[in-house]
Amino acid sequence: MLRTRPTTEFTGYLAAWTSSALGDGLRATALPLLASSLAAGPRGVAVVAAAGGAPWLVFGLVSGVFVDRWPRLRMMVAVQLTRAAALGALAALVAADLVGIPVLVVVAFVLGTCEVVFDVAAHSALPSIVPREQLQKANSRLLLGEISMAELAGPLIGGVLFAVAAVLAVAVNAAAFLVAFGLLALTVGSAGRPEPREPGSIGQDLRDGARWFFRARTVRAISVLSVAVNLASGGFLAILVVLARERLGVGAVGYGVLVAVGSVGGLIAGAVGDRLAGAGQRRAICLAAGPVIAAAFLAVGVFPTWPVTALALAVWGAAATLFNIVALSFRQAAVPDEMLGRVTAVHRFLVWGALPLGALAAGFLADAAGVTAVAPAAAAVVAVGVLAVWRPLSQAPRDQFAL
């Protein structure tokens, strides 16, 4: 049996998560701006961005093995301290005017590695912090904090701080992770500790996790749909700035509003996600999210205007967030605790890997057929994903979605 903690301890966990999300949002702005300020050109900026994303490909799967072996909250504490130290060192180098692209590549890779471990450990630790029946409520609040900080407040604050002084943006970024470290340190206990077991080799543990994932029909189906949605979303968002400029006739402000609208849709979904808590409602969300997202992309393809695109992004943000809340809660409840880190790692590896692939494909498609071809193609990708998983999801027993 999992050991659960009083729900009051979730408050500290949520505060630490929110502070960490703020750090992610600050980083998302500070590092690209810092790279751009070094006159490295687009290639230099892209290399820094690639270094930040590469750890998902390098460590995405193996991270789950260690998350299933070691105390999860303690891993999260160590990761936050490492993030704060890396950014503190970067702030010192910025102040001394000793920063170049190689330094930013190393820092971005370290921060990306920390993100991989933190993400897998955090999702795997939650079932030991809150009771099973409160997982959906907890995930709704966590995603609400993540969207508000990582997608809205963080990038905005980071841009303002960087405009004042680059070192200030980096230092505040370090402070956000340091606060998260302190809050998590206060939460550490037996929560998040996997059940004792005799570990095998890393390779054997990886195979066991992958085998469980691919044999679990409903868990696998939800992940397949997530991959399809991320392939489409990664492609559409990658060319959104070009679509806004060339077809919608809006500049930087209009593009910024479009990005924010998608986040606002996610915030609304996060605020109501814990209320859709019935087993039938959860299954309905899993079945409806894909068609709704496909319809949103298709609407942009058929009516490429700013109002339609804004509405479509709001719908996309709400549907994707509701689906993520339900899918995450379902997986945490369905997967055995001793296997949760590895199964989560397999899922995150596939889902996060789909984003850059979608972006790359959208770039080639836009060059070949025009930027307006991307939205219908995104709709088609999601539609294929829906068709692939409709039978296993619709035939899954209703009580399988109960928490």
Report the topology of domain 205-401: Growth Hormone; Chain: A; (1.20.1250)
* One-letter identity of residue 381: V
Tell me if 342 sits within 8 A of 65, measured CB to CB.
yes
- pLDDT value, residue 281: 93
Instruction: For residues 194 and 190, give the distance between their C-alpha atoms in angstroms, rounded to a whole number.
Output: 9
- Burial string for 126-156 (b: 16+ CB within 10 Å, else e) reads bbbbbeeebbbbbbbbbbbbbbbbbbbbbbe
Tell me if 191 sits within 8 A of 129, measured CB to CB.
yes
Instruction: For residues 36 and 44, give the distance between their C-alpha atoms in angstroms, rounded to a whole number.
Output: 8
Class for domain 9-196, per CATH? mainly alpha
Instruction: For residues 273 and 326, give the distance between their C-alpha atoms in angstroms, rounded to a whole number.
Output: 8
Tell me if 214 sits within 8 A of 342, measured CB to CB.
no
Tell me if 91 sits within 8 A of 170, measured CB to CB.
yes
Quickly tell me which residue has 């969300």 as its tokens. Answer: 285
- pLDDT value, residue 6: 46
Instruction: For residues 19 and 36, give the distance between their C-alpha atoms in angstroms, rounded to a whole number.
Output: 26
Structure tokens at 319: 């549907």
Cα end-to-end distance, the chain, whole Å: 15
The sign of the dihedral angle between the CA atoms of 125, 224, 279, 334 is: negative
- pLDDT value, residue 194: 60
Closest CA to 25 of 167, 183, 145: 145
CA 245 from chain center: how many Å?
27
Quickly tell me which residue has 């402000």 as its tokens. Answer: 253
Q: What is the pLDDT along the chain (403 residues), one digit of tens a residue?
A: 344 444 568 998 999 999 999 999 999 889 988 988 886 666 787 788 888 888 988 999 999 999 999 999 999 999 999 999 999 999 999 999 999 999 999 999 999 999 999 999 999 999 999 999 999 999 999 999 999 999 999 988 998 999 999 999 999 999 999 999 999 998 876 455 565 566 678 999 999 999 999 999 999 999 999 999 999 999 999 889 889 988 998 887 788 889 889 999 999 999 998 888 788 999 999 999 999 999 999 999 999 999 999 999 999 999 999 999 999 999 999 999 999 999 999 999 999 889 888 988 998 999 899 999 999 999 999 999 999 999 999 999 988 998 8
What residues have CB less than 8 Å from 393, skipping those under 6 apart?
A: 218, 221, 222, 225, 283, 286, 287
- pLDDT value, residue 2: 41
- pLDDT value, residue 4: 43
SS3 of residue 61 by DSSP? coil
> Phi and psi (nearest 5°) for 131?
-60, 155
Structure tokens at 202: 């890393």
Quickly tell me which residue has 């998983």 as its tokens. Answer: 389
Tell me if 135 sits within 8 A of 126, measured CB to CB.
yes
Other CB atoms closer than 10 Å to residue 313's CB: what's the count? 25
| DSSP 8-state assignment for residue 132 | G
SS3 of residue 388 by DSSP? helix
Domain limits, CATH 1.20.1250.20, in the chain: 9-196, 205-401
Closest CA to 123 of 107, 139, 136, 112: 139
Instruction: For residues 70 and 302, give the distance between their C-alpha atoms in angstroms, rounded to a whole number.
Output: 51
